[in-house]
Chain A
Amino acid sequence: MSILINRETKVLVQGITGKTGTFFTRDMIKYGTKIVAGVTPGKGGILHENVPVFDTVLKAVEETSAWASIVFVPASLAKNSIIEAIDAGIKLIVYPGENIPVHDMMIIKRKLKESSSYMIGPNTPGIITPEEAKIGFMPFFCYKKGKVGLTSQSGSLSYEIAYGLTKKGIGQSTVVGIGGDPVKGMEFVDVLGLFQEDPETEVIVIVGEIGGTDEERAAEFIRDYVTKPVVSFIAGRSAPIGKKMGHASAIISEGRGTFESKIKALNEANVLVAEIPAQVPELVRRVLG
């Protein structure tokens, strides 16, 4: 078990014939991901990287029963491609790109609400169930199969922390990067709910950062619904007020999103908070027993 994806998950690549699409299709197949179809409008009928290409997502779903999709389309065109996937009945959509307009994301979010689809992203490395499948571009060597469910806003920091766990022999059930944008698809609470239900996940690790209220809401959810132990690391303790730290949502403004508020909420929910990334494996080890 794992959450959302495993080696049987049928995956579609939107924008498969582009440079990025081609590169990561190859990388995902190599990892074990079952790529069943690609979509590039106007190129339907060809084989690309040995994957059948279709003109539309709907056609690809009808022919291959693709369940998930990763979208390699520039930010300015992403809204259309993501909504095409939702309308075609794709259940999990991953959008790794950066700089998708926030108003486009609000429309997508509204559309997701009336569907039964999940979206991961934008601005995310994706999702990986170690030694089975990945949808995204997480570096394979950072991960190993195991019992820790890991979710993070920052991609780079999730690599560092997953690698730290892996080096200590602690594997992961699934790792989900939710991304660093202010309006996103899945949030910590959505991922936490799935980890709580997943029998293979025994400990949950949340890697957050300053800005927004994702961590505060996660803490509330943990207090009310999560019985599994949770470990956390929050980046940005030393960040100044009112400055965007790389991620669009990593900003402390109008008194919201402070490091202190997040730590307080997590402590109150009995989450073990690591002071530095290297402490995460120790804390996980402690609760795993």
Chain B
Amino acid sequence: MKLFEYQGKELFGKYGIPIPKGMIIKEKDDIRDAFKAVNSGNGVVIKAQVLSGGRGKAGGIKIVETPDECGKRVDEVRRLKINGHAVQEILIEERIPAKEEFYLSITVASDLGRPMLLMSSKGGMNVEEITKNFPQYLGKVEIDMAYGLFDYQVRGLLSTVGFSGYSSSSFTEIAKALFRFFIDYEAMLAEINPIILDQNGKLIAADARVEIDDAAIFRHSDIKKIKDVREKTSEEFLRDQYQLEYVELDGNIGLISGGAGMTMTAMDLISREGGKPACFMDCSANVSQTGYEVALRTVSAKEGVTSILVNIFGGMTRMDHVGEYLVEALNKISPIPQPLTIRLEGTEAEKGKEFLRKAGLSICETFEEAVKKAVTLGRNK
């Protein structure tokens, strides 16, 4: 789960990482008072809180000098949509003029199975841009889970990326604090970009990007609280409520399948036949009448779906059960407006198909045949 910048900063602050003075502006708050409270003489930065990148380019960050201007700009920012995300909250912060900007992050390097610290003396741009344009100023070091992060590793990186002498010890302290946070909160990513070096030679975390491992949230009550109050997307709702793995796409073939690899492959075959999948819907974690019913209802109600494909390969799942559940689910919903194409294979598949045939449904024998038929039916609509 991704955290908003202000939530990440609050946690960083608890680990002793210096953060700017700031506050969240609510709809009814007096913006003039807020401006005065955070301004330290250099104006104020208004920052849209969204979980999407490209916030600056979309106009979600504004620098203002006066309380009046602040009020006007806050209203503007509140109305923005950033990469399709509505701005839910707004952070205002003291503006800190930067002498230099650095990059620091800790991620899970999945190919190594251990954490990796990344650092650059070219902060303020995203890590792909740094990798592309300034590879000589980007340093990486692996961290051993048994021993943690050592000072010498950070200092070694500082010299690699051309960070000259000043405040290297406070940089090391920040890196170590970030690592403590990363471990304590079971983060997948903890990023400060940029870390600002201010006019007085002090380092301050000017941004925070944090992603917590979804599988570990049960151990972190404060993160769980954040999750519980957040509005759920339909994808999150289906996962939490019905164990359905759902990803919305923009095509016309409503796809229902079982297993991540199989569902992805079905998407690929649909595209290969000239169709476009409308979604990724993996029902393997909830093989039940309810599971299929919710999946069918969701897919059928999705805008632009002209044809539905159900493709299930049962390993440990018994296909006679699947056939039965599908028939029951369809009886409850009927009539489904879109044509339905079904392919079942695996344990007790013949019995499953029998159930469906008796209910007047036609069955395709192979994966490829089913995809072809679903795409053709979708086109004729």
Contacts and interface: CB of A to CB of B under 8 A. Distances in A.
A245 B264 contact: yes
B293 interface: no
B261 A157 contact: yes
Contacts of A160: 262, 265, 313, 345, 367
Interface in A86-126: 98-107, 109-110, 125
A168 to B, nearest CB: 13
B124 to A, nearest CB: 17
Contacts of A163: 313, 345-346
Contact of B128 (A157, A250, A254, A275): A254
Interface stretch (B9-17, B32-40, B62-70, B215-223): B215-223
A102 B346 CA distance: 32
Nearest to B127: A254
Most A-side CB within 10 Å, residue of B114, B214, B262, B265:
B265
A76 B217 CA distance: 11
Interface residues of B, number: 52
A278 B345 CA distance: 14
Q: Is the interface of A mostly helix, strand, loop or mixed?
A: loop
A250 B215 CA distance: 16
A237 B268 contact: yes
Interface residues of A, number: 61
A110 B144 CA distance: 8
B263 interface: yes
B216 A137 contact: no
A103 B216 CA distance: 8
A246 interface: yes
Interface string B335-364: 000000000011100000000000000000
Contact of A102 (B188, B249, B258): B188
Contacts of B111: 212-214, 217
Interface in B244-258: 245, 247, 249, 258
B270 A159 contact: no
B315 A138 contact: yes
A227 interface: no
A238 B255 CA distance: 13
B332 interface: no
A57 interface: no
A183 interface: yes
A80 to B, nearest CB: 14
A272 interface: no
B318 to A, nearest CB: 10
Contacts of A75: 215
B262 A156 contact: yes
A245 B188 CA distance: 17
B365 interface: no
Interface string B111-130: 10111000000000001100
A156 B115 contact: no
B259 A106 contact: no
A102 B108 contact: yes
A2 interface: no
Contacts of A104: 216
A250 B260 contact: yes
B145 interface: yes
A69 interface: no
A154 B259 contact: yes
Interface of A: 75-76, 98-107, 109-110, 125, 137-139, 141-142, 152-160, 163, 180, 182-184, 207, 209-210, 212-214, 217, 235-240, 243-250, 254-255, 275-278
17 contacts: A98-B285, A100-B215, A102-B108, A102-B215, A103-B216, A110-B144, A138-B315, A156-B259, A156-B262, A157-B261, A213-B111, A236-B268, A245-B280, A246-B264, A247-B261, A275-B272, A276-B269
Interface of B: 108, 110-111, 113-115, 127-128, 144-146, 183, 186, 188, 213-216, 218-219, 245, 247, 249, 258-265, 267-272, 277, 280, 282, 284-285, 313-316, 345-347, 366-368
